[in-house]
Amino acid sequence: MSWVKNLVPVLTMLCCTTIANTASADSFDQDVSQFISDEGTIIYLGTGIVLPLLLDGKNGKNQSLRVVDSLGTSLLVCEGLKAVTDVQRPDSDERDSFPSCHATLAFTVATMQSEFQPKYTLLWYAGASVIAYSRVNLNRHRWTEVLAGAAIGYGIAKLELSQPNGLLLFPIIGSDNEGGTIVGLQMSKSF
C-alpha cells in the first residue's frame, strides 16, 4: 500500500508535464493547453487538497484544511487585485487579466505541498508551471500576469505556513459543559 501512496503524486504530475511537453502541432498544442487550463487545473488543485488525507495520516486533515485555507486566501487576494487593476486580457475586452488566478492557485498548492511532501517539490512546481504556461499559450494572460500570480500564490502559501493557525479558517476542538466534544471551523475576521 505504501508504494501506491508514493506513486499517486508522481503519476499525477508526470501526466500533466508529459502531456504539455509532447505538444508539437499548433492545434494539438492549443487543445492540450485548454485541457491543462481547465480539467488539468481542477485535477491538480483537487489532488493538492485530497493528497494529504491519503498520505499523511492524522496530520492529513490539518494539512488539507491548510491547503484549502491558503487557496481561499489566494483566491480572495487575486480577485481583489483583478478588480482594482482593471487590466485588459490579451484575447478579449475583458478587464480581469492581472494577475492570473490559475497561476496563483497552482503555485499556492505547489508551495503548500512542497512543505508537506518535500520529495515531490520538483513535480509540484513543474505542474504549477505547466498550468501557468497554458494560460500564456492560450493567450489568456501575458507572462507578467502569470509571474505575478505565481509570486502571489507562493507568498500567501509561505504566509499560511508561517502561522500557527490558518489565515482565514482554523479548527475548533473543545468540549461542552456535558463532557461532549465540539468540533468545527472558525473563520477569522481580522486583517
Give 125-171 pLDDT, tens digit per residue. 999 999 999 999 999 999 999 999 999 999 999 999 998 877 776 55
Give 43-59 pLDDT, tens digit per residue. 999 999 999 999 988 88
24, pLDDT greater than 50: no
Mean pLDDT of 90-99: 95
Residue with cell 480577485: 79
* pLDDT computed for residue 57 by the predictor: 83
* pLDDT computed for residue 95 by the predictor: 94
Mean pLDDT of 35-45: 97
Domains of the chain with CATH codes: 2-187 (1.20.144)
